[in-house]
Amino acid sequence: MKKNIIYIICLSGLLAMAGCKDYLDINTNPNLAAQPPIDGLLASTTYATGNNTYRVGNITSYFVQHLASPTVSSGSDIYDEVDYNTTWRYLYDNMTDIHDMIEQAKEKGSSEHLGVGLVLMAINLQMATDLWGNIPYSEAFVASSSDPESLTPPYDSQEEIYNAALQLLTDGIAELSKTDSKLTLKASQDLIHGGDLDAWKRTANLIKARLLNHYSRKGAYNATNVLTALSGSYTGNSQDAQVQTFPDLSPWNQAAVNNTNLLLDGWISAQLVDAMDGTDYGVTDPRLPYMMTLTQFGDYRGTINGAGRVGTGTDDEESYLSLTGFYSKPGAPVLVATFAEAKFIEAEANFRSNKLKEAYDAYLAGIAAHMDKLGVPGPQKTTYINNPAVSVGEANITLALIMKEKYIAMFLHPEAWTDARRFDYQYRNFTLPTGALLPAFIRRVAYPSTEISRNAANVPPVENLNQKLWWDE
């Protein structure tokens, strides 16, 4: 079975490379097919979307202090202008392949592939724009007479990107609802939902609710629209969008393995430990062993961001991603969108509408959903939820409590950083990294060096990494 998985992913990725004609890749390999098969593109783009979720999460998890570097003053911790060129390339390589799948789907009359492609494009666009803000999109995947290789496309504003992504999702749902597709999805090639059209529609609705909820600082925010989108989304953990098929180790499992091999990866931040072990909130969270390792002292200890390790790095004086934990065990899935996230979005939207009972119920349901996902036993789940620090009653529910629990439930996910920025990092006792190069929390990343070197005329100016993105203003 593993050999078949490797073959599907590797062959699909190789064939998909033939379709890359965006501004990132100007080389042509005559040994590759002129047009990759549409199901090969389906496999490669669903797989790459999961991997991109991991890659972006591996950047943002240091910003929200889920993870910390064992190295003193590591650039990932202290807000250095790190060059995330590789992540940019992976996102745009995948969006190019998605674009090719969309075009093929139109030519072949496959509403099923078209619908999935539109949803995937929205997901990858969101990851890119929430890192960099303004990005190329409208002219990024098409050549022109003045720019035949699309090397210098103009940038779309983040507001335009969000509008485009929301339209992609609306159109994707419409295509997935059609019944006259000339081609059908192959379950073995769809590495997120196994060819289930209803599952794709639910995911599209959740991503739409996610994007609409990002408008919380804008005048255009409409809680009713958020809740309407959620009504067509997930109703349980079994419907989550996730990638669990990998040719070798799953990404976060690789991080845990790296650490056991003394490559010092996957170290847990003190901020997260303090939020879960009773230090900050007075209640011990039973999810701790499902997310991180115990220390040699029999407790959980995080590493302070920017300060680096306190021990040798080989004696378990701090907590790391666990080889048996939900996120980092062998075969662990990469979560793209989850039922738990949906419930916390529902809680926030209702809270902002002053519907406190609905907000409170969704808040508790989000906690329960995440615990069920991780496999926390029922009695431990009940004890935690019934603790007065958690079950505060609908009259006492606050946005801070909702966001605190969502912060834990979105462990390692890119969305956690968007939440932190929307919430102004107002988590209890949340502090700047030791030796931070900025006077305030980071709000964006710098454009990659490749863009600055070849597309400088179009790259927007960035004053510093405190500069807020459009939805954050």
User: Whole-angstrom Cα distance, residue 347 to residue 366?
Assistant: 8
User: Whole-angstrom Cα distance, residue 81 to residue 300?
Assistant: 31
Q: What is the pLDDT of residue 148?
A: 54
Q: What is the pLDDT of residue 333?
A: 98
Low-confidence residues of the chain, pLDDT below 50?
A: 1-33, 145
User: Whole-angstrom Cα distance, residue 37 to residue 289?
Assistant: 43
Chosen CATH of 2-248+332-468 out of 3.40.50.20, 3.10.450.40, 3.30.420.40, 1.25.40.390: 1.25.40.390
Q: What is the pLDDT of residue 17?
A: 42
389 contacts 282 by C-beta, under 8 angstroms: yes
Q: What is the pLDDT of residue 260?
A: 86
Q: What is the pLDDT of residue 151?
A: 82
User: Whole-angstrom Cα distance, residue 51 to residue 12?
Assistant: 15
Phi/psi region, residue 393 (left: phi>0; alpha: psi -120 to 50; beta: rest), is left
426 contacts 454 by C-beta, under 8 angstroms: no
Residues composing the chain: 473
Domain boundaries defined on the chain: 2-248+332-468
User: Whole-angstrom Cα distance, residue 43 to residue 460?
Assistant: 34
pLDDT digits (tens, 9 = 90+) for 109-139: 999 999 999 999 999 999 999 999 999 999 9
97 contacts 44 by C-beta, under 8 angstroms: yes
pLDDT digits (tens, 9 = 90+) for 420-430: 999 999 999 99
pTM listed for this prediction: 0.93
